[in-house]
């Protein structure tokens, strides 16, 4: 019976340590998550929450944020997206380029697809194609870039190039929605470089 008491006493510090860890780890994680941010550049979310209380459109709100925090990458990106939605393609291009100049994220290059859409809206086909080609240099089977490349080429009358882009898309991503659209469009390209 003495050895059982010794085992219980030996396990007691382990139980206490376990209970402390059980309480301390979540508390530490909560503190880290909700801890105040370092002084310096405010986060996009903080800036956005400060302007939400005003009675402005989202575009006006972002323009106001940009006025007070010029050069803030996430604001530039949001402004570019809002300008694109509003059909203000030149402004969208300007702010996408500001974002790309500053961006260091792994996925920032994907903005080039939206930049392509803005150039297309201005009928600047060569600039739109340049953005898609830059994307395809990085990811030769990017579904969005291949689909848009085919669409722009088809609209420009380069049916062979459109067919090549869409066939590559279908081969690389057969289940992707864009591949389904490409499959539906291919029969319309019935002549290599003639009329559909």
pTM of full prediction above 0.95: no
Cβ atoms of 96 and 77 closer than 8 Å = yes
pLDDT confidence of residue 52: 57
Name the DSSP letter for residue 109.
G
End-to-end Cα, the chain, rounded Å:
93
Residue 71 lies in a domain: no
d(CA 163, CA 175): 18
7: containing domain: 1-35
Tens of pLDDT, residues 54-112: 678 888 888 888 888 888 888 899 999 999 999 999 999 999 999 999 888 888 889 99
Report if residue 15 sits inside a domain. yes
Query: Does residue 153 lie within any of the structural domains?
Result: no
Whether 26 maps to a domain, the answer reads: yes
In a domain, 163, yes or no: no
Has residue 145 been placed in a domain?
A: no
Task: Scan for tokens 């009675």, then name that residue.
Answer: 55
For residue 129, give both structure tokens: 């194609």
Residues 6+ apart with CB under 8 A from 74: 44
Q: What would the mean pLDDT of 163-175 be, rounded to a whole number?
A: 96
* 80: CB partners within 8 A, 6+ apart: 91, 92, 93, 94, 95, 96, 98, 99, 111, 114, 118
């Amino acid at each position: 019976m003495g050895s059982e008491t010794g085992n219980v006493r030996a396990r007691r510090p382990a139980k206490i340590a376990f209970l402390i860890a059980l309480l301390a780890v979540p508390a530490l994680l909560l503190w880290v998550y909700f801890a105040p941010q370092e002084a310096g550049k405010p986060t996009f979310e903080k800036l956005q929450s400060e302007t939400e209380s005003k009675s402005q459109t989202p575009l006006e709100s972002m323009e106001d944020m940009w006025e007070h925090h010029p050069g803030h990458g996430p604001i530039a990106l949001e402004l570019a997206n809002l300008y694109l939605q509003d059909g203000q393609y030149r402004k969208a291009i300007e702010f996408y380029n500001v974002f790309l100049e500053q961006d260091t994220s792994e996925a920032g290059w994907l903005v080039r697809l939206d930049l392509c859409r803005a150039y297309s809206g201005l009928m600047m086909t060569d600039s739109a194609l340049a953005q898609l080609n830059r994307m395809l240099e990085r990811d030769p089977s990017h579904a969005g870039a291949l689909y848009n490349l085919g669409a722009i080429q088809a609209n420009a009358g380069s049916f062979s190039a459109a067919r090549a882009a869409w066939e590559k898309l279908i081969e690389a991503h057969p289940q992707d929605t864009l591949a389904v659209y490409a499959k539906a469009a291919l029969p319309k390209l019935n002549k290599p470089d003639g009329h559909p």
